[in-house]
Structures are given as C-alpha cells and as structure tokens.
C-alpha cells in the first residue's frame, strides 16, 4: 500500500523522522486533520499516511507511547489503542450503506456498511 522508504533496519532520529513525514507541511495546518473527530477528516489523514515514507516508525512509536488519540502511522488511536474504525455518536442504524469519498482519485470508505439481521 504505502511507499515505506525506511526498512526496519534503518534508524533515524526524531528530527529526521519529523522532517520526512507526509504530515509535516511546515505550517502546522494539518494538525487539526490528524486530531479531528470528523470522520471525513480522519479518512483524509489516514489516506495521507498511505504515501508517507515514515509510516511504520510513526505507528510503532505511537504504539510504544500509547498515544491517547489521533491518527498515527495510518491508524486511529483512542485511549492508547488502535481502533478499526470510528463510528458516529449515538445508536447505529440497522441498515446503512457505506459512505465513500474520493481522495486523489481513490475511493476511501469513511463509514463501513451496516447490515443487521
């Protein structure tokens, strides 16, 4: 999926990792995207991580630090654990089609389909 440039054998310092990260735009404007509660923002942040050359070390560091929230290494964290997906507030409907958006020409599932018995 992603284009990890770094193998597990390579080690870079924190400053080098931050400089190489796709989320580092130099302005800090993407911070809100990676710590948003909005499902569309979360999908965009995860999609940005798919092309990041430091995705693996970012995810590994977040797991080791037990990050309390946010998108790290393409995964959503809540309370120090990786969530498969975030659902909307309230009781989920019995039937709901998947909600898909297009980011950079790629279909990204924001909300998975629900089919109850």
Judge whether 98 lies within some domain: no
**What pLDDT digit, counting tens, does each position of 34-66 carry?**
999 998 999 999 999 999 999 999 999 999 999
Q: Determine the Cα–Cα distance for residues 59 and 46; give it in Å rounded to an integer.
A: 12
Judge whether 57 lies within some domain: yes
Judge whether 81 lies within some domain: yes
Judge whether 112 lies within some domain: no
Judge whether 117 lies within some domain: no
Judge whether 69 lies within some domain: yes
Judge whether 33 lies within some domain: yes
Q: What pLDDT, on the 0 to 100 scale, is given for residue 7? A: 41
Residue 4 has pLDDT above 80, yes or no: no
Judge whether 66 lies within some domain: yes
**Total count of domains within the chain:** 1
Alpha-carbon torsion angle 61, 48, 85, 72, nearest 10: 10
Asked whether 108 and 45 are in contact (CB, 8 A), the reply is no
In this structure, the chain runs to a length of: 117
Instruction: Report if pTM > 0.75.
Output: no
Structural domain span for residue 43: 14-87
Asked whether 81 and 67 are in contact (CB, 8 A), the reply is no
**What pLDDT digit, counting tens, does each position of 66-101 carry?**
999 999 999 999 999 999 877 777 777 777 777 888
């Amino acid at each position: 999926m992603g284009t990890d440039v770094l193998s597990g054998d390579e080690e870079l310092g924190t400053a080098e990792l931050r400089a190489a990260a796709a989320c580092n735009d130099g302005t800090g404007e993407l911070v809100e995207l990676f710590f948003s509660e909005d499902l569309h923002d979360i999908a965009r942040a995860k999609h940005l991580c798919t092309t990041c050359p430091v995705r693996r070390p970012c995810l590994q560091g977040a797991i080791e630090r037990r990050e309390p929230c946010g998108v790290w290494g393409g995964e959503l964290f809540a309370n120090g654990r990786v969530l498969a997906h975030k659902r909307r507030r309230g009781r989920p409907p019995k039937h709901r089609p998947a909600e898909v958006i297009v980011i950079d020409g790629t279909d990204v599932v924001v909300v998975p389909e629900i089919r109850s018995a």
